[in-house]
Amino acid sequence: MKVLVTGAAGFIGSHLCRRLAETRRCEVLGVDNLSDYYDVALKRARLAELAPLESFRFVQLDFAEPEKYSALHTHYRPDYVAHLGAQAGVRHSIEHPAAYVHSNITGFLNVLEACRARPPKHLVFASSSSVYGAGARVPFSEEQAADRPVSFYGATKRANELMAHSYAHLHGLNVTGARFFTVYGAWGRPDMTPIIFAKAICERGPLKLFNEGKNLRDFTHVDDIVDGLMKLLLYPPPPEQRPTPPYRIFNLGHHRPVEMRLFVEMLESVLGQKARIELLPPQPGDMVETCADLTRVQAAIGYAPRTPLEVGLRGFAKWFREYYRQ
């Protein structure tokens, strides 16, 4: 099976590429533009981990460039496409919205157009819990309206879902979206909470807790996310069981939200150091609580997260100390 993965040098993308390549049933082509949104050295280090895998190849390319991406898709002829590439970051989207339009809107349109021209068996794309926004009821279920995102990043991800639905309706494209909930683990992004907090703890700097640390997050280990992606991507429903149009959306989370103050205490424990906590008011664009309703995805693919937060944080702390030499 030939699988094309965008965002292959990213956090989740690199983990998915490894899992696919290690199955030995998949030939994996990873695509990434290696943007400098965060340290490119980390992205190259992830790729270096993948390089020894015989079933993995990498191409540096921006999927927001239509001619280049279309030519790659046509030449490679993937059986499956996992579109995980995106401009990420809730707070960054407030100051740099154009970057999100370029990657998340124009880029996703290019991926859809390439798939329309030569349809794969299945397209799975990354969405986010940020789509739920204002008025969402906890736990977040896929049946909720998700029409009032509180960040521009969330708005672009909701736009992706609507774009995908229209292509499924108009062109019969078999497509599934996965809404990720606060993913953490080894090789994580440095703009995300676990690494920001771990650096603050180890370097004795101030650890900023917005909303005085009262926000709750549904931390989900990257291994559990990849488990769900593998099942969604490679085992779509047969044609006779597909919805009309052939479009689905699922939460991939942990369903056990943790208050940020408790998260810091757990991180202090695995790192063996105390934090210098600075309590701050709420941050614009932040959600007070996230929690995934997993009813739909459990019924569809038997998804069940297996990594307790305390176990996942121990593995994260080990990688963090080794990579950042802390």
Cβ atoms 80, 121 nearer than 8 A = yes
Residue 153 annotated in active site: yes
Quick one: pLDDT band at residue 326, thresholds 50, 70, 90? Answer: confident
Mean pLDDT for 91-106 is 95
108 confidence band (pLDDT: 50, 70, 90): very high
- For residue 33, is pLDDT > 80? yes
The whole-angstrom distance between residue 21's C-alpha and the CA centroid of its chain comes to 19
Half-sphere exposure for 58 (CA within 13 Å, toward CB): 22
Give me the residue label for tokens 């996230």. Answer: 290
Q: Which amino acid, one-letter code, is at 105?
A: I
* b/e map 119-158, b = 16+ CB within 10 Å: bbebbbbbbbbbbbbeebebbbbbeeebeebbbbbbbbbb
Overall average pLDDT of the 21-28 stretch = 94
Q: Please, are residues 219 and 184 in contact by the beta-carbon 8 Å criterion? A: yes
Q: What is the pTM of this model?
A: 0.96
Tell me what the pLDDT averaged over the chain comes to.
96
Alpha-carbon distance 108 to 111, whole Å? 5
pLDDT in tens, 154-192: 999 999 999 999 999 999 999 999 999 999 999 999 999
Residue 126 has pLDDT above 80, yes or no: yes
- Is 36 exposed, middle or buried, given 0-12, 13-18 or 19+ CB atoms closer than 10 A? exposed
Among the listed ranges 35-49, 63-77, 103-117, 129-143, which one has the minimum average pLDDT value? 129-143
What DSSP character marks residue 137? P
Catalytic residue among 69, 76, 80, 153: 153
Does the pLDDT at position 285 exceed 80?
A: no
pLDDT at 134: 84
Show the domains of the chain with their CATH numbers: 2-184+221-255+291-306 (3.40.50.720)
142: pLDDT strictly greater than 80: yes
- 182-240 pLDDT tens trace: 999 999 999 999 999 999 999 999 999 999 999 999 999 999 999 999 999 999 999 99
Residue 69 pLDDT grade (very low, low, confident, very high; cuts 50, 70, 90): very high
Q: Which residue's entry shows tokens 């540096």?
A: 60
Q: For 182-207, b where at least 16 C-beta lie within 10 A, e where not — what string?
A: bbbbbbbbeebbbbebbebbbeeeeb
- Which residue from 311, 230, 225 is spatially nearest to 25, judged by alpha carbons? 230
